[in-house]
Structure 1
Amino acid sequence: MAAPKKVCIVGAGPSGLVAAKSLLHDQPSGTFSVTIFEAQNRLGGLWPSAKHDHAGFVHPLMVTNQSKHTVQFSDLAWPDDAPEFPRAWHIGRYLERYHDRYCRDAELHLGERVVHTELLQPAEQNAEGAKWKVRTCSQDGQQLDHMFDYLLVASGFFGKPVTPSAVATCGSGDIPVIHSSQYRTLSALLEQTKGQGRKIVVVGGQMSGVEIAGTIATHLSSALHSPGSSTLRDLDKYAIHHPASSAPPFLPLDFCSYNLANRPDSLTNIQGHISTKAAKALHSAFETMLGTNQSEFSPSLAVTNTDTDKPPYLAVSDTYADFVRTGLISVSHGKVQSVTGNTVTVTTALGEVSKIDNVAAIVLATGFEAASSISFLPSSVQETLSVLPSDLNTTVALAFHGTHHPALPSLGFVGFYRSPYWGVMEMQARFVTALWAAGGPASSSLPPKMAAALAQDDSIERTLALRTDPRASQFPMGDYPWLMQEFARALEIDRLPPLGKMPRVPPADKSMDILTPARYPAKQLSEEQRTEVTKSIQQTESTAWSGVSSAKFVAKAVFRSLLGEWKLERDLVSRLPTHPSGHFSGTARFLLRERTRDGREVEHDAALERDDDIGLEYLYVEEGTFTASNGFSFRATRRYVWRYDEKKDKLSVWFVKTDDQKRADYLFHQVEFIIPDTEAEDATQIWRANAGHLCIDDFYDVDYRFNFKAVNLKDWSLGYRVKGPKKDYTIDGTYTR
């Protein structure tokens, strides 16, 4: 039997681990031996595995913008109690489980960075025919050389943060400048400002810009409205500036984006070059999904007719748009041109200039350059790969969807592209494994389907063309479902059908067909892998049915949409002469903050012991004027605490303490949503809910009506019927923006 081919994998993040799994399990045992070098002292790459691991580029509490059904590999399901949208440290824990399950036979070197590689010429290769000399450096400075047959790059596309030239020299001046990957706490950021300035400027308008602006706004709101005194001063003076059918069911975004029922049977690529017609179609799809062109949040967020001619760029946040509506985040269009003292100058594409003064700090959400992640490759290899450090999207030109270069048959790549969805990473790993097992891209032993796919591949040419294409898409490598299709065809992997009947949803009104990695399992599965695949698909199908046929996710959708200020009009009608009737007119504000311990001490402490996330809540503040039917009027206010429990998927309302109205006291009621009759002729976009509360002898019968337009709460109403020995009245309030 031939000796195993020795493979060096650079990086122990998701790409490196799935590559190791494929090399060890997708071919007969002994085909490859695997060594992984990871510069950090832990595996996981970007993803920390502890809530307080702040050493990496990703905040451990960051929530994924794809659900767990997409952020997974085919043969390891998430635990049943995992949140639908995991936090970064949950991902790190998942990767630890994945390593323990599938990568134990790989030789793992933590704290050992690859600093140099050399592609050996035939005369330099040793008796075993090794093709790569790999030099590593430990954290104590010890360097060692290793010999390998293959080199697989899984070092990650996010090499080092990009700092625009306009602010590159500001860090040592009047204003602290940090990259979004370095932001951890509001107190740490404001401590650097030394009390100077009141505006936090976020630079960068794509995914990370929206995410970090929403995160800082949430932290600022929480610090402002939580009980107790804050060590941070003048918090109320800070603001964030960012230059840049029936009652609807609620499902994770990727359930809609990756529902193959909405696409033709044979997929075509809808990424890359985006024509004007395609741009308009995509903008229309997003507007339908959201139910708005965003103008209702702020004119600065509106997508106009002129905008729809351009390729759409997508960013995801639960809080960003509503914080813009409240004014905590203000948006200005353009790029940062310069920073002078504590003033930032912004210039639009039309040459219009605006200034942001009184700046306290600058947070750069300007992305990462990838070239540093492959700086260990020889210059001749980088030249062959057409490495372009200045291109943040298409740094290298690789064949067959980012897997290899035909001129370098012993070099492979996994996950080296922007936004590497986990299913594509897994497919890339399988493809490189199969390619090397067959002898390389020029081998006559290639399976016919793989040989045909390589013969028709134009990935390198397309990548190079997109570098100068003004209509290149946000994620130019390709459309996720299309990429999965192309890999599956080349590898002759059949997509598994749904395990059971799936719900029908608009717009296609067909049974859902949700693309997840588990739908594309390897051809040869162990019984253990088969169990994980089945469990994963069952979880996805269960979530789909729960979202369509029950009230799952509705409480979260309501909670998300309440943020900010509402106009409140309320009528009180009393049936007893001892209690006046009248009308209240005023505002209701939902002020976001971290969930507090008050009133739920046992549950709170148990969650901390389990290392669970505490979540968020609102301090509800109502202020206005009550005018009685006899003409007498007075100012009135009341407060509650609204809480959402993600594990239980429950929304609840709590009384506040009389001596400290920022603190919760005890439960008022839990909101119970009523599943609408979708067959009813008068079905609307309204979700109804009810609740009850017995206060000594008085019973409060509570009725809610939440009126949604697509995923956004348009308006809502709240009614009480109060009945007791000395009370008999109704209260009906309407909340509008």
Structure 2
Amino acid sequence: MTKTVCIIGAGPSGLVAAKTLLHDVAPATFKVTIYDAQPRIGGLWPLTKDDAAGLVHPLMVANQSKHTVQFSDLAWDDNVPQMPKAWQVGQYLKCYAERYGGADVRLGHKVVRTELQQDGAWKVETESEEGPQSHTYDHLLVTTGFFGKPIWPDYLSKEAEVPILHSSKYRDLKGLLAKGNQKGHKILVVGGQMSGIEIAGTIATHLSSAVHGPGEKPFENPEKYSIQHIAQRPSWVFPLFTSAKPAAAAPPFLPCDLPSYNLANRPRPLTNSSGHISVDSAKTFNSIFQSVLGTDQGEFSPNVKIGDDLREQQPFLAMSSHYADFVRSGLISVSQGKVSSLSGNTAALSPSDEKIEDIAAVVLATGFDPCPSLDFLPSEVLETISYAPSHPSLPAALAFHGTHHPSLSTLGFVGFYRSPYWGVMEMQARFIARLWATPEPSQAWKEALECDNSIQNVMNLRPDPRLAQFPMGDYAFLMQEFAKALEMKISTPKETPPLANGKSMDILTPARYVSEGAAQSQIAEVEKNLACTHETALGGLTKARFVAQAVFRSLLGEWKLERDLVSKLPSHPSGRFVGTAKFLLRQGTADGRNAAEQDDLGMEYLYIEDGDFMASNGMKFRATRRYVWRYDGTRDVLSVWFAKTDDNMRADYLFHDIEFIVPDAADEAAQTKGWQAKASHLCIEDLYNVKYEFKFQAVNLKEWRIGYSVNGPKKDYTISGVYRR
């Protein structure tokens, strides 16, 4: 007999749940209806570049790669970058829904009330343009996600005289400042965890682009603004690409989640590393994070340093490509504390009594209240699941890692927790399908449920002062536990070159777990996903892939520059230049590019050097020059362009592409050097041969050198320059 299922929510959780119920169990076992209040599928994820109505900016870059932001049996398009943008994630979901259809999807239908019937069925009431409706289903599956509504702090009052916006609604600076009095010059960002650092970095990027971009400014006097970031305590700030060998002289780079989810680094069976964080665990995690970053972050600012006083505390983690270097540059200033009041254009902090004046606008990165995601459930059900609005990180106590409650056999949950990694969502959906479809559970299934302590664990963690930033954040452990209950085997990893520990990488992705009875078309998608991850790992470990991206990211800000010029011709004197070089980040420009390169211009730097040249003949004069540095994510190429002489904010034509050289594994001397690179450029009759060396400390560029040899009919000289922070 076919069972009817109502799924509330058409985001990733709802779509994978529907697909699993309809395609991964016996045909006609379930009939699925999906309701979503939005007029489109995707949940948080927008479907187009101009879809600005949701909670995620369509151009926001995901902080996990397409190897983690995936379902096992749908491969990403090869042309999508490693870190997809939000609208590209939406397109992936659209493709997934089309590939694995069969559900009755009712968009623009908001579920306003549900009632649990005597026989376990659910009466579901909805509202839409068609008017109120009521239907009854055998099962109810909640996939509404954790982001119910933005949290607005109590200190906000009518006395504030500046625009106030939640970070989920920020789109651009012009929109943020449009309603302001234009008198202040500080953009206040409140909130020090993941979203606070991400939005501060985003706003800084927009502001830097407005100041240093060519042409008409997007709003008046962008150079007068800066960002004041308020955080109660510092977080570790990871870039989107990290290294599987951070101690290497020339570290290889990979999307950040590939080294993070390398199972070869963890003993089996896995134990849960999240939830309660002991002092010893905190020390271990903080030590690992420092080794990955190669710094305690004090070099950027004392207020973002993870010092000894924090090493025993549970760590906070955030992702941002440019936040730390914007802090170093001074565009972002960080104050530690909590906003206690906001009046006029002044904010007061506690416990320091510091006052932040001259505020132009406020962006709140204060998180989300998940409770509205459950407000359609009846009060007796909320009581059963120990619903607690006062604990927004753990609002419901659910069994087997957030999937159900033993007293409510026809109610299920998928993706209802912070950090709902896509693989875990898929596993939760498989668990619910097995729970509702299998009349005779296996021995492994029985043992898994008998040993489960998830509900008690939630109740214990709620008052725990050492609660992890993400209480269900151990992705690998959760995947293991679901696989054990479902009797699923993880596939054998493909070989990669050994790391420092002598082991090959064993990268966890959703595609490592294949649904029982998967069709050949599904298995083909699984194989594509696995091949893509393996190719990415090999590219990073053996072919210098992503090094250009790592160098580009780490150039931001000001460098001390010393350069020596040695000329063999008396007509061109030798000499020494001492000064500074600034890499000023901005939105990519179309100047000098062909039409095919203008679809996604990415980011670029305006390079400005300024200083004094002392010639060997005793002459001294001021010297300055400009270039434009660009990173092409499609080709993974870093390039240098001449600036126009009549408009030195704009790129003119290509100087050279930088080609990174893979160190020879058999050359011991090569293993002690930083990343070597080369380039060449023929300027009329003069040939420029260029050599680079980039020295990293883990993910951060600490020093780099450039050497030119220039030969032509009237030129014969060499230049060697060194850049230091």
Same fold at TM > 0.5: yes
2:189 touches 2:229 (CA, 8 Å); kept in 1?
yes
Secondary structure in structure 2 of the residue aligned to 1:134 = strand
Q: Does structure 1 residue 134 correspond to structure 2 residue 124?
A: yes
The aligned counterpart of 1:107 is: 104
The aligned counterpart of 2:457 is: 462
Name which of 610, 615, 630 aligns with 2:602: 615
1:132 touches 1:149 (CA, 8 Å); kept in 2?
yes
1:478, distance to aligned residue in structure 2 (A): 4.4
Name which of 555, 566, 570 aligns with 1:573: 566
Hey, what's the Cα distance between the residues in 2 that align with 1:574 and 1:89?
Answer: 53
Secondary structure in structure 1 of the residue aligned to 2:582 = strand
The aligned counterpart of 2:694 is: 706
The aligned counterpart of 2:144 is: 155
The aligned counterpart of 1:442 is: none
Hey, what's the Cα distance between the residues in 2 that align with 1:712 and 1:164?
Answer: 36
The aligned counterpart of 2:618 is: 631
The aligned counterpart of 1:259 is: 262
CA distances 1:666-703 after superposition (whole Å, capped 9, x unpaired): 00011011111233222225001110011111111111
Name which of 264, 268, 271 aligns with 1:268: 271
Hey, what's the Cα distance between the residues in 1 that align with 2:86 and 2:473?
Answer: 25
Name which of 118, 123, 147 aligns with 1:121: 118
CA distances 1:402-424 after superposition (whole Å, capped 9, x unpaired): 00001111000000000100000
Hey, what's the Cα distance between the residues in 2 that align with 1:585 and 1:27?
Answer: 70
Q: Does structure 1 residue 563 correspond to structure 2 residue 556?
A: yes
Residue type at the aligned position of 2:357: D
Name which of 28, 47, 50 aligns with 1:49: 47
Hey, what's the Cα distance between the residues in 1 that align with 2:516 and 2:508?
Answer: 18
Q: Does structure 1 residue 356 correspond to structure 2 residue 343?
A: no
Hey, what's the Cα distance between the residues in 2 that align with 1:601 and 1:233?
Answer: 31
The aligned counterpart of 1:127 is: none
Name which of 497, 503, 507 aligns with 1:503: 497
How do 1:147-296 and structure 2 match up within 5 A? 147-167=136-156, 169-170=157-158, 173-244=160-231, 245-296=248-299
Residue type at the aligned position of 1:83: P
Q: Does structure 1 residue 381 correspond to structure 2 residue 381?
A: yes
The structure-2 alpha-carbon separation of the partners of 1:510 and 1:322, relative to structure 1 and needing over 3 Å to count, comes to same
Residue type at the aligned position of 2:480: Q
Secondary structure in structure 1 of the residue aligned to 2:446 = helix
Q: Does structure 1 residue 516 correspond to structure 2 residue 518?
A: no
Name which of 640, 664, 679 aligns with 2:651: 664
Secondary structure in structure 2 of the residue aligned to 1:510 = coil
How do 1:299-310 and structure 2 match up within 5 A? 299-310=302-313
The aligned counterpart of 1:9 is: 7
1:625, distance to aligned residue in structure 2 (A): 0.8
1:438, distance to aligned residue in structure 2 (A): 2.5
The structure-2 alpha-carbon separation of the partners of 1:150 and 1:364, relative to structure 1 and needing over 3 Å to count, comes to same
1:685 touches 1:708 (CA, 8 Å); kept in 2?
no
The aligned counterpart of 2:366 is: 366
1:243, distance to aligned residue in structure 2 (A): 1.0
1:115 touches 1:136 (CA, 8 Å); kept in 2?
yes
Hey, what's the Cα distance between the residues in 2 that align with 1:378 and 1:314?
Answer: 36
Q: Does structure 1 residue 727 correspond to structure 2 residue 715?
A: yes
Residue type at the aligned position of 2:485: A
The structure-2 alpha-carbon separation of the partners of 1:341 and 1:194, relative to structure 1 and needing over 3 Å to count, comes to closer
1:359, distance to aligned residue in structure 2 (A): 0.4
Hey, what's the Cα distance between the residues in 1 that align with 2:536 and 2:215?
Answer: 39
Q: Does structure 1 residue 493 correspond to structure 2 residue 493?
A: no
How do 1:527-566 and structure 2 match up within 5 A? 527-566=520-559
Name which of 23, 29, 32 aligns with 1:31: 29
The structure-2 alpha-carbon separation of the partners of 1:721 and 1:94, relative to structure 1 and needing over 3 Å to count, comes to same
1:514, distance to aligned residue in structure 2 (A): 0.3
Q: Does structure 1 residue 316 correspond to structure 2 residue 329?
A: no
| 540-549 or 389-398, larger mean C-alpha shift | 389-398
Hey, what's the Cα distance between the residues in 1 that align with 2:504 and 2:608?
Answer: 44
Identity of matched residues, %? 59
1:355, distance to aligned residue in structure 2 (A): 1.1
Hey, what's the Cα distance between the residues in 1 that align with 2:167 and 2:68?
Answer: 24
2:292 touches 2:699 (CA, 8 Å); kept in 1?
yes
For structure 1, the residue ranges without an aligned partner over 5 or more in a row are: 123-129, 440-444, 608-612
Hey, what's the Cα distance between the residues in 2 that align with 1:477 and 1:247?
Answer: 35
Q: Does structure 1 residue 473 correspond to structure 2 residue 468?
A: yes
Residue type at the aligned position of 1:316: M
The aligned counterpart of 2:636 is: 649
How do 1:390-429 and structure 2 match up within 5 A? 390-429=390-429
1:604, distance to aligned residue in structure 2 (A): 3.9
Hey, what's the Cα distance between the residues in 1 that align with 2:666 and 2:485?
Answer: 44
1:614, distance to aligned residue in structure 2 (A): 2.2
Residue type at the aligned position of 1:110: L
Residue type at the aligned position of 1:410: T
Hey, what's the Cα distance between the residues in 2 that align with 1:200 and 1:57?
Answer: 20
Hey, what's the Cα distance between the residues in 1 that align with 2:215 and 2:601?
Answer: 18
The aligned counterpart of 1:451 is: 446
**Count of residue correspondences:** 708
The aligned counterpart of 1:18 is: 16
1:369 touches 1:391 (CA, 8 Å); kept in 2?
no
1:194, distance to aligned residue in structure 2 (A): 3.0
Residue type at the aligned position of 1:87: K
Hey, what's the Cα distance between the residues in 2 that align with 1:346 and 1:638?
Answer: 43
For structure 2, the residue ranges without an aligned partner over 5 or more in a row are: 232-247
1:246 touches 1:678 (CA, 8 Å); kept in 2?
no
CA distances 1:66-99 after superposition (whole Å, capped 9, x unpaired): 1100000000111112100000000000000100
1:184, distance to aligned residue in structure 2 (A): 0.3
1:201, distance to aligned residue in structure 2 (A): 0.7
Residue type at the aligned position of 1:165: D
1:340, distance to aligned residue in structure 2 (A): 1.6
1:248 touches 1:685 (CA, 8 Å); kept in 2?
no
Hey, what's the Cα distance between the residues in 2 that align with 1:260 and 1:220?
Answer: 40
Secondary structure in structure 2 of the residue aligned to 1:205 = coil
Name which of 667, 672, 683 aligns with 1:695: 683
How do 1:340-351 and structure 2 match up within 5 A? 340-347=343-350, 351=351
Secondary structure in structure 2 of the residue aligned to 1:66 = coil
Hey, what's the Cα distance between the residues in 2 that align with 1:436 and 1:541?
Answer: 35
The aligned counterpart of 1:337 is: 340
1:313 touches 1:474 (CA, 8 Å); kept in 2?
yes
TM-score (norm 2): 0.96
2:164 touches 2:363 (CA, 8 Å); kept in 1?
yes
Hey, what's the Cα distance between the residues in 1 that align with 2:437 and 2:536?
Answer: 38
1:247 touches 1:678 (CA, 8 Å); kept in 2?
no
Hey, what's the Cα distance between the residues in 1 that align with 2:344 and 2:249?
Answer: 55
RMSD of aligned Cα (Å): 1.1
2:32 touches 2:104 (CA, 8 Å); kept in 1?
yes
1:615, distance to aligned residue in structure 2 (A): 0.6
2:210 touches 2:218 (CA, 8 Å); kept in 1?
no
Residue type at the aligned position of 1:265: R
Q: Following TM superposition, where does structure 1 have runs of at least 4 consecutive aligned residues deviating by more than 4 angstroms?
A: none
CA distances 1:528-584 after superposition (whole Å, capped 9, x unpaired): 000000110010011001100011000000000000110111111111110111111
Hey, what's the Cα distance between the residues in 2 that align with 1:597 and 1:409?
Answer: 58
Hey, what's the Cα distance between the residues in 2 that align with 1:642 and 1:694?
Answer: 18
CA distances 1:29-64 after superposition (whole Å, capped 9, x unpaired): 011000000111110000001001000000001111
Hey, what's the Cα distance between the residues in 2 that align with 1:43 and 1:231?
Answer: 33
TM-score (norm 1): 0.95
1:306, distance to aligned residue in structure 2 (A): 1.1
1:352, distance to aligned residue in structure 2 (A): 2.0
